[in-house]
């Protein structure tokens, strides 16, 4: 088989045969990896000998499809739908029916010969042409369904009519916010980790200090009943949230539930709480066990008593899938193993009430109802305070998740998502969860993508899209292959962005794309064109030896000193992260030896940048360096500045060490409680300096005023 046939098939399916790495070198995909990806995309290629037939089948399938399953219409632009059809049908009549999301229906008809004709193609001896079908002007925003009737056959497409730019609130312009993982937040009433009520207190304090945004790690559900977690970026679902952070004393019926209060007042519970509060790391198992006992008592009381259930029924009506999720969690608890190991009827998605005890189903339904209530309260409270709640959308879910069980045809079975080798991960990364099939996402009208967005957007003022590069392409690693042997698969960028812009306006939420790492220029331009903010992370932007050593922060960005996957400011500035590794993963001596001089060059370059801004800083004074860097970001053109709360007390422990199975990942409790850092004079002074810097005109504006 000629190599160009495999390349042709890959291109027809949106699979890249090569890519540029971080050093600008071309990396070619292996034939085995290309074939594995193509099989996941529906190509019938059991062996290389099947490729020529698969090419013919793919080309025929494309041209025999009259209209694409999805069409994007940007507001203010006249929309045309490309219609493919055999030349023999190019002059006949057609009928169109456009069902609008709001219920209206538009109908029209005509003759194909009157439509503009575009160049066609001869495919396997058959001649095809393309016609341009115009949609009516002034199409309202929304999800509409177009049906096209040709020669007695009807084709259908989803019409995504969306605003050209995502939502933006002028109230957030040149503001700052604070980030702190909820598990790290603690108050005097916290257990081992913080909870939703602690987050409310943190929001109130942030607003008092002048902040306008509060960010957390993803708060999505985990499979506690299977002993999974914690990993906020590998949840049990992107549609439902985690009961781990519930404040049980605020749950419906707590004051009247004697059993629940007795559990918390028992000597065993008191001892457990004291032990949890003394620990430096979050004790997820102990906290979850105690909360489950209390929540079970509350659920039992609710369903056994003559309680008013109107609020629960309203929740069930608004979130009908919550019942399926509760049933899934209950069966997980009964089976004690991931759904892939369940008996066939359960595994295949057919769950019934008889598959688990009624009290387990009721427990999980009750818990999700209470989670929704506390989260909705938090969302309302944030808006009352003038805050944007900054939530985070992970890229995927763990293989045992509800979402893969419920929407399995959307996900791949034999590949994992990951990242190719880069500066930090020389062997690449395999994230261990299946990516979605782009063609199936389109066929389903992006139902799961939309549902996952809405789950968070109804609460958020700002939503960060983790690994936003997945809107353009995603690195697929075949099962059994090394992370270095993956391939990039293309995704329909404009369609995904149209869903983002539409949903952001409907929920009045700002969208931020985590565009760090290898991001194509095309995607960055698309994000800017459609109003999706990017990220400006200081350590990635300082380039020693270059002139200038740092580019100005673009206006449409969120600026920060680090991310949750990076060392804290103090650890990075002092170089302590270079040697920070778990006991069973000692630092690579060669890497450490090379990194130290690089880090020193970074520090010198940054000190030079600060000096140019009029801030002469002693490099040995970490706190002064932190303050200067905050001021630097504060003065920048970035629309928002997000500060890691832990940086403000010079924390040196890292919340997550990517690629390393560290016992401290996602478990580090805040060194200071909210009551302590609220009274800390250094913390207050740093935030005051940032507030003042944000009030100053950005560099570009200062220069324009001087010229005037």
Q: What is the pLDDT of residues 622-664, one digit of tens each?
A: 999 999 999 999 999 999 999 999 999 999 999 999 878 888 9
Compute the average pLDDT of residues 342-356: 93
**Is the full-model pTM beyond 0.85?**
yes
Using a pLDDT cut of 70, give the percent of the chain over it.
96
Compute the average pLDDT of residues 419-440: 89
Say yes or no to pLDDT of 586 above 80.
Answer: no
The confidence score (pLDDT) of residue 583 equals: 46
The confidence score (pLDDT) of residue 517 equals: 81
> How would residue 222 be classed by pLDDT, with cut points 50, 70 and 90?
very high
* Ranges of each domain in the chain: 3-62, 76-162
Task: Determine the Cα–Cα distance for residues 325 and 342; give it in Å rounded to an integer.
Answer: 16
Say yes or no to pLDDT of 591 above 60.
Answer: yes
> How would residue 520 be classed by pLDDT, with cut points 50, 70 and 90?
confident
pLDDT in tens, 88-132: 999 999 999 999 999 999 999 999 999 999 888 999 899 999 999
Say yes or no to pLDDT of 584 above 60.
Answer: no
**Would you state the structure tokens that stand for residue 310, as one six-digit string?**
């109107």
DSSP assignment of 65-124: -SS-SEEEEETTS--EEEEEEEGGGTTSEEEEEEE-TTS-EEEEEEEGGGS-EEEEEEET
The confidence score (pLDDT) of residue 708 equals: 30
pLDDT in tens, 33-78: 999 999 999 999 999 999 999 999 999 999 999 999 999 999 988 8
Block residue for tokens 């789950």: 455
Say yes or no to pLDDT of 589 above 70.
Answer: no
Phi, psi of 251 (to 5 degrees): -75, 145
Contact predicate 396/415, CB 8 Å: no
Question: What b/e sequence results for 70-90 when a residue is b if at least 16 CB atoms lie within 10 Å of its CB, and e otherwise?
Answer: bbbbbbeeebebebbbeeebb
Q: Which of 355-369, 586-600, 653-667 has the lowest mean pLDDT?
A: 586-600
Give the angle 572-573-574 at the CA atoms, nearest 5°. 95
Say yes or no to pLDDT of 370 above 60.
Answer: yes
Is the sign of the CA dihedral 304, 306, 311, 317 positive or negative? positive
Task: Determine the Cα–Cα distance for residues 590 and 237; give it in Å rounded to an integer.
Answer: 40
The confidence score (pLDDT) of residue 593 equals: 77
Q: Kind and range of the H or E element at 463?
A: strand 462-465
The confidence score (pLDDT) of residue 211 equals: 98
User: CA dist 184 to 195, 530, 678, 686, Å?
Assistant: 10, 34, 15, 20
> How would residue 706 be classed by pLDDT, with cut points 50, 70 and 90?
very low
Return the closest-CA partner of residue 175 out of 386, 384, 391: 386
Question: What b/e sequence results for 584-597 when a residue is b if at least 16 CB atoms lie within 10 Å of its CB, and e otherwise?
Answer: eeeeeeeeeeebee
Three-state SS at 436: strand
User: CA dist 704 to 130, 370, 610, 701, 708, Å?
Assistant: 51, 53, 22, 5, 6
Task: Determine the Cα–Cα distance for residues 537 and 519; give it in Å rounded to an integer.
Answer: 14
User: CA dist 533 to 17, 160, 528, Å?
Assistant: 30, 22, 7
Compute the average pLDDT of residues 697-707: 54
Say yes or no to pLDDT of 300 above 50.
Answer: yes
> How would residue 24 be classed by pLDDT, with cut points 50, 70 and 90?
confident
Phi, psi of 652 (to 5 degrees): -115, -5
**Would you state the structure tokens that stand for residue 265, as one six-digit string?**
């007042």
Helical packing angle, 589-612 and 622-635, nearest 10°: 60
**Would you state the structure tokens that stand for residue 354, as one six-digit string?**
């008889």
List CB contacts of 339: < 8 A, sequence separation 6 or more.
328, 331, 332, 346, 347, 400, 405
Task: Determine the Cα–Cα distance for residues 550 and 552; give it in Å rounded to an integer.
Answer: 6
Assign a CATH topology to domain 76-162.
Immunoglobulin-like (2.60.40)
Task: Determine the Cα–Cα distance for residues 561 and 629; give it in Å rounded to an integer.
Answer: 8
The confidence score (pLDDT) of residue 703 equals: 42
List CB contacts of 157: < 8 A, sequence separation 6 or more.
67, 68, 69, 70, 71, 81, 145, 146, 148
Contact predicate 178/215, CB 8 Å: yes
Judge residue 114's burial from the number of C-beta atoms within 10 Å of its C-beta, 0-12 exposed, 13-18 middle, 19 or more buried. exposed
The confidence score (pLDDT) of residue 350 equals: 86
- Name 458's bridge partners: none
Mean pLDDT over each residue of the chain, to the nearest integer: 94
Say yes or no to pLDDT of 193 above 60.
Answer: yes
Judge residue 673's burial from the number of C-beta atoms within 10 Å of its C-beta, 0-12 exposed, 13-18 middle, 19 or more buried. middle
List CB contacts of 297: < 8 A, sequence separation 6 or more.
257, 259, 260, 263
Task: Determine the Cα–Cα distance for residues 344 and 355; give it in Å rounded to an integer.
Answer: 13
> How would residue 581 be classed by pLDDT, with cut points 50, 70 and 90?
low
Return the closest-CA partner of residue 535 out of 545, 547, 526, 524: 524
> How would residue 1 be classed by pLDDT, with cut points 50, 70 and 90?
very low
**Would you state the structure tokens that stand for residue 191, as one six-digit string?**
């257990």
In this predicted model, which residue has the larger pLDDT, 229 or 651?
A: 651
- Biggest CA pair distance of the chain: 84
Compute the average pLDDT of residues 678-686: 98
Q: How many CA atoms lie less than 13 Å away from 57 in the CB half-sphere? A: 10
Say yes or no to pLDDT of 689 above 80.
Answer: yes
């Amino acid at each position: 088989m000629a190599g160009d046939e495999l390349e042709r098939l890959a291109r027809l399916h949106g699979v890249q045969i090569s890519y540029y790495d971080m050093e600008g070198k071309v990396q070619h995909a292996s034939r085995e990896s290309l074939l594995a990806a193509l099989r996941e995309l529906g190509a019938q290629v059991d062996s290389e000998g099947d490729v020529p037939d698969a090419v013919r089948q793919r080309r025929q399938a494309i041209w025999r499809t009259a209209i694409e399953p999805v069409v994007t219409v940007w507001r203010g632009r006249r929309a045309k739908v490309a219609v493919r059809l055999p030349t023999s049908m190019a002059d006949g009549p057609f009928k169109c029916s456009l069902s609008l999301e709001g219920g209206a229906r538009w109908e029209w008809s005509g003759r194909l010969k009157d439509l503009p004709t575009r160049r066609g193609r001869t495919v396997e001896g058959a001649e095809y042409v393309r016609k341009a079908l115009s949609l009516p002007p002034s199409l309202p925003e929304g999800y509409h369904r177009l049906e096209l009737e040709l020669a007695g056959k009807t084709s259908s497409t989803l019409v995504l009519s969306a605003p050209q730019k995502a939502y933006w609130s002028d109230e957030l312009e040149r503001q700052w916010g604070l980030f702190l993982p909820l598990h790290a937040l603690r108050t005097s009433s916290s257990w081992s980790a913080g909870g939703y009520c602690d987050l409310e207190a943190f929001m109130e304090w942030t607003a008092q200090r002048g902040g306008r945004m509060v960010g957390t790690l993803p708060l999505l559900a985990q499979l506690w009943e299977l002993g999974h977690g914690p990993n906020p970026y590998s949840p049990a679902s992107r549609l439902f949230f985690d009961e781990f952070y519930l404040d049980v004393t605020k749950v419906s019926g707590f004051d009247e539930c004697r059993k629940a209060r007795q559990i918390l007042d028992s000597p065993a519970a008191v001892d457990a709480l004291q032990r949890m509060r003394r620990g430096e790391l979050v004790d997820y198992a102990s906290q979850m066990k105690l909360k489950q006992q209390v929540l079970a008592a509350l659920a039992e009381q609710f369903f056994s008593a003559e309680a008013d259930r109107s609020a629960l029924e309203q929740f069930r009506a608004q979130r009908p899938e919550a019942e399926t999720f509760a049933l899934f969690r209950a069966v997980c608890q009964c089976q004690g193993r991931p759904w892939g190991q369940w008996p066939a009827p359960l595994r295949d998605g057919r769950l019934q009430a008889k598959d688990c005890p009624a009290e387990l189903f009721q427990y999980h339904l009750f818990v999700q109802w209470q989670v929704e209530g506390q989260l909705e309260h938090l969302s309302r409270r944030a808006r009352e305070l003038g805050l944007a709640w900054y939530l985070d959308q992970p890229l995927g879910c763990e293989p045992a998740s509800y979402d893969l069980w419920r929407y399995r045809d959307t996900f791949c079975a034999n590949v994992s998502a990951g990242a190719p080798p880069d500066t930090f991960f020389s062997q690449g990364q395999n994230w261990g969860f299946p990516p979605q099939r782009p063609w199936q996402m389109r066929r389903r009208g992006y139902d799961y993508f939309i549902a996952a967005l809405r789950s968070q957007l109804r609460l958020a003022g700002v939503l960060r899209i983790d690994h936003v590069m997945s809107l353009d392409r995603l690195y697929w690693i075949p099962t059994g292959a090394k992370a270095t042997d993956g391939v990039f698969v293309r995704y329909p960028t404009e369609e995904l962005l149209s869903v983002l812009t539409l949903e952001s306006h409907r929920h009045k939420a700002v969208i931020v794309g985590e565009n760090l790492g290898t991001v194509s220029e095309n995607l960055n331009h698309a994000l800017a064109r459609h109003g999706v903010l990017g990220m400006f992370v200081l350590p990635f932007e300082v380039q020693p030896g270059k002139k200038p050593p740092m580019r100005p922060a673009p206006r449409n960005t969120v600026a920060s000193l680090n991310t949750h996957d990076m060392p804290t400011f103090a650890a990075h500035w002092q170089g302590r992260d270079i040697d920070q590794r778990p006991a069973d993963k000692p630092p690579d001596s060669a890497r450490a030896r090379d990194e130290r001089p690089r880090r020193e060059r970074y520090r010198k370059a940054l000190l030079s940048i600060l000096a140019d801004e009029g801030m002469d800083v002693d490099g040995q004074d970490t706190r002064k360096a932190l303050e200067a860097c905050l001021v630097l970001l504060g003065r920048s053109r970035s629309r928002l500045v997000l500060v890691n709360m832990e940086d403000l007390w010079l924390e040196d422990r890292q919340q997550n060490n990517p690629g390393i199975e560290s016992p401290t990942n996602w478990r580090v409790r805040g060194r200071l409680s909210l009551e302590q850092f609220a009274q800390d004079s250094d913390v207050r002074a740093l935030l005051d300096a940032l507030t003042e810097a944000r009030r100053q005109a950005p560099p570009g504006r200062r220069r324009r005023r001087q010229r005037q």
